[in-house]
């Protein structure tokens, strides 16, 4: 009706526009947060391989007490925090070594053989060139990371996860030397 045409221009429209703009900005903000923050269930990644049992043993080829202790503590930390059992150094197809591979930029390595999703062997190593001067607790952080690969985890997207691409950095920045929540979720998803 003509009376409605004489309303203050934009009074109702402005109120609706503010609500629309506020709603749009809220949705836009939530979308941005969702895209920037990884979903906790998907932050870890796996190799697509697992041992046929969650009772995993390993062969200890460490060369001294500091490497032996830190490797045993690393294995025990996976066993106590996840559904992986028995992580004992009583022989097994996962070989654990420390040796000097020189100034190549890597504190540790892991290799594995996978056949149709099943791990058939793995090697977990620390590079003595870098790790000899590290305290046992920092070695443990690196062992935990490399054992994680040997059990089927790839790198995490979280910089506080032990499976982040630099476990020595996680130790330096946070003091962590055991699996964190994202590492635990990933391992429990595998086993």
pLDDT in tens, 158-183: 999 999 999 999 999 999 999 999 99
Q: Let me know whether 31 and 46 are in one domain.
A: no
**81 and 94 both lie in a single domain:** yes
Whether residue 170 sits in one domain with residue 186:
yes
DSSP SS3 for 145: helix
Are 22 and 81 part of one and the same domain? no
Radius of gyration of the chain (CA): 25
For 106-157, write each residue's pLDDT tens digit: 999 999 999 999 999 999 999 999 999 999 999 999 999 999 999 999 999 9
Q: 83: Cβ–Cβ under 8 A, 6 or more apart, which residues?
A: 54, 187, 188, 191
Q: Which of 1-10, 46-55, 85-94, 127-136 has the lowest mean pLDDT?
A: 1-10
| Residue 151, both tokens | 């059990």
Task: Tell me the whole-structure pTM to 2 decimals.
Answer: 0.78
Q: How many helices (H) and strands (E) does the chain have?
A: 7, 4
Residue 191 has pLDDT above 70, yes or no: yes
Instruction: Indicate whether 66 and 119 sit together in one domain.
Output: yes
Average pLDDT over residues 49-73: 96
Q: Do 47 and 88 lie in a common domain?
A: yes
Judge if 146 and 123 occupy the same domain. Answer: yes
Q: Regarding predicted confidence, which is higher, 40 or 32?
A: 40
How many domains is the chain built from? 2
Which residue range(s) make up the domain with 137? 42-190
DSSP 102: -
What is the rounded average pLDDT for all residues in the chain? Answer: 84
Separation between Cα atoms, residue 147 and residue 131, nearest integer Å: 16
The Cα 109–Cα 124 span in angstroms is 6
In this prediction, residue 42 carries a pLDDT of 57
Same domain (yes/no): 84, 132: yes
pLDDT of residue 180: 97
β-pairing, 118-127 vs 94-99, is parallel
Residue 98 to residue 36: CA distance in whole angstroms: 38
Residue 88 confidence (pLDDT): 84
Give 81-102 pLDDT, tens digit per residue: 999 987 888 889 999 999 999 9
pLDDT of 97 reads: 96
Q: In what order do the strands lie in the sheet with 94-99?
A: 58-61, 94-99, 118-127, 108-115
- Check whether residue 111 and residue 135 sit in a common domain: yes
Tell whether 8 and 55 lie within a shared domain: no
Q: What's the rounded Cα separation, in Å, for the pair 112 and 94?
A: 8
31 and 86, same structural domain?
A: no
The more confidently predicted of residues 124 and 24 is 124
Assess whether 29 and 47 both reside in one domain. Answer: no
């Amino acid at each position: 009706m003509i009376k409605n045409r004489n309303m203050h221009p934009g009074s109702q429209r402005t109120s609706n526009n503010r609500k629309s703009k506020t709603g749009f900005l809220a949705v836009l903000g939530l979308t941005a947060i969702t895209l920037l923050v990884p979903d906790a269930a998907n932050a870890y990644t796996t190799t697509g391989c697992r041992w046929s049992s969650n009772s995993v043993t390993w062969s200890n080829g460490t060369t001294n007490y500091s490497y032996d202790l830190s490797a045993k503590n690393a294995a025990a930390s996976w066993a106590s925090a996840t559904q992986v059992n028995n992580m004992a150094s009583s022989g097994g197809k996962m070989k654990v070594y420390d040796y000097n591979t020189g100034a190549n930029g890597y504190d540790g390595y892991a290799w594995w053989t996978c056949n149709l999703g099943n791990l058939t062997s793995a090697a977990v190593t620390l590079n003595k060139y870098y790790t000899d001067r590290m305290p046992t607790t920092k070695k443990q952080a690196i062992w935990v990371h490399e054992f994680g690969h040997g059990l089927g985890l790839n790198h995490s997207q979280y910089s506080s996860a032990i499976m982040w691409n630099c476990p020595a950095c996680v130790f330096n920045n946070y003091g962590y030397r055991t699996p964190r929540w994202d590492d635990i979720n990933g391992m429990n998803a595998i086993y």
